[in-house]
Structure 1
Amino acid sequence: MSRSYGQYCGLAKTLDVVGDRWNLLIVRQLLVAPARYRELQDGLPGIATNLLADRLRDLETGGVVERRLAGEGNAIEYVLTPWGAELREPIEGLIRWSTPLMTSGPGNDRFRPEWLVVALPALLSGRGSATVGIAVDGQMLQVCGAEVSPHDGRDLEAIVRADAAVVLGLAAGALTLDGARGLVEIEGDEAAVRTVFDR
């Protein structure tokens, strides 16, 4: 954190800590789950290993990230500090703000299904309490109220199968289930799916 805007302003001070390129994406990955260095690198396509090391060091110095021993052996994993985890709310605000930028679909951009674990709660806030599975790119997530996580084996009222862009469109309200016929496959209780995706 050698660079500073040198301004006594909350936004400037925040950007001093998390404003460098890749920092908020590292936080996004750690909002999904604590991760080892290699897992972070895999979850951040395009980041150079030396840049990741620098950014983790900066975030650690800034009090956003900390290292801890993983469950087994001497492996180190990175985790958000309680203060760092408070970035969830502003990140969710930025995700909601990004909705017009997402309407064109992914194009050539990379996508990883676990990123939906952070995006969907931001977009589905205040929707129904049904437990619905979302199958994207061979991975199953579960939505239960405002919580989204990898499927933990619990019974699901329904499963939605669709491309990531369609799921994001449904969550953001840019698409409706009726308008997405042919793009969405629903297995199980369609009414449960509607409590999640219909506005």
Structure 2
Amino acid sequence: MPPRRSYDQYCSAARALDVVGDRWTLLIVRELLAGPRRYTDLHADLPGVSTDVLASRLKDMERDGLATRRRLPPPGAAYVYELTARGRELLPVLQALGEWGQGELGERRPTDAVRAHWFALPLLRLLDGEGLVEVRLDEGRFHLRAGAEEGPVYGDGPAPGEPDARLVLDTGTCTALSRGELTLARAVREGRVEVSGEGPLAKALREV
């Protein structure tokens, strides 16, 4: 494997960018925060990345201790990639980057791809507490694990098991939340987010 390129600067920010500064790396981390993913699934949810670049970035992430590759037991028998503990430490980095960049979203362009689960990290920033949350948007459903210290922090589809809270909202509302134009509390008060469930998170949201 070729050696990692470096800025050759004795600075922690520069060293971090040596590892995660290449194009696509942090977006691969975003996808792997959902748990183990097959190469084909990663490629499908990273529109615009070439197969060569994706394979190269995954190898770099393995080399740098951010991700590992393993084979699932039968009947799956497919290879999956997943984050290491070091890779999971990038969650707050992605959250801070997403919060900083929310003003850059603007109106969605005709060429912009979107996946329902890309709204997971912005919503996680807005949830105060811990628990399993199921979210239903126009584009589909996904679930979040607020306050999760281990394992996936979100995933596609319905929640596995009974969620602590269910949120139903339209894409326009979710986009406004992601841009920082609307707080979750205000969206609930105005009826733009429908909250159901009996867990602490649901009760807290209904009481705002």
TM-score norm. by structure 2 comes to 0.76
- Residues 71 and 12 (structure 1), Cα distance of their counterparts in 2 relative to 1, 3 Å cut: same
Corresponding residue for residue 174 of structure 2: 167
Shift of residue 106, structure 1, vs aligned partner: 2.4
Corresponding residue for residue 149 of structure 1: 154
**1: distance between equivalents of 2:131 and 2:62?**
38
Identical columns (%): 34
1:90-109 alignment runs, 5 A limit:
90-102=93-105, 104-108=106-110, 109=112
Shift of residue 137, structure 1, vs aligned partner: 3.3
Shift of residue 129, structure 1, vs aligned partner: 5.9
**Partner amino acid for 1:77?**
V
Corresponding residue for residue 139 of structure 1: 140
1:103-122 alignment runs, 5 A limit:
104-108=106-110, 109-121=112-124
Q: Is the 8 A contact 2:25 2:57 kept in 1?
A: yes
**1: distance between equivalents of 2:131 and 2:4?**
47
Shift of residue 51, structure 1, vs aligned partner: 0.7
**2: distance between equivalents of 1:64 and 1:159?**
32
- Cα-Cα RMSD: 3.1
| Counterpart secondary structure, 1:45 | coil
Whether 2:69 is the aligned partner of 1:70: answer no
Corresponding residue for residue 3 of structure 1: 5
Q: Is the 8 A contact 1:157 1:188 kept in 2?
A: yes
Q: 2:205 aligns with which of 184, 195, 198?
A: 195
Q: Is the 8 A contact 1:130 1:195 kept in 2?
A: no
**Partner amino acid for 2:118?**
W
- Residues 193 and 22 (structure 1), Cα distance of their counterparts in 2 relative to 1, 3 Å cut: farther
| Counterpart secondary structure, 1:174 | coil
Whether 2:91 is the aligned partner of 1:83: answer no
Long gaps (5+) in structure 1: none
Whether 2:23 is the aligned partner of 1:21: answer yes
**1: distance between equivalents of 2:174 and 2:207?**
9
TM-score norm. by structure 1 comes to 0.79
**2: distance between equivalents of 1:144 and 1:110?**
24
**Partner amino acid for 1:141?**
F
Q: Is the 8 A contact 1:170 1:197 kept in 2?
A: no
- Residues 155 and 22 (structure 1), Cα distance of their counterparts in 2 relative to 1, 3 Å cut: closer
Aligned length: 191
Shift of residue 48, structure 1, vs aligned partner: 0.4
| Counterpart secondary structure, 2:9 | coil
**1: distance between equivalents of 2:24 and 2:80?**
18
Whether 2:42 is the aligned partner of 1:34: answer no
C-alpha offsets along residues 11-32 of structure 1, whole Å, 9 cap, x if unaligned? 1111111100001001111112
**2: distance between equivalents of 1:15 and 1:168?**
29
Shift of residue 178, structure 1, vs aligned partner: 7.0
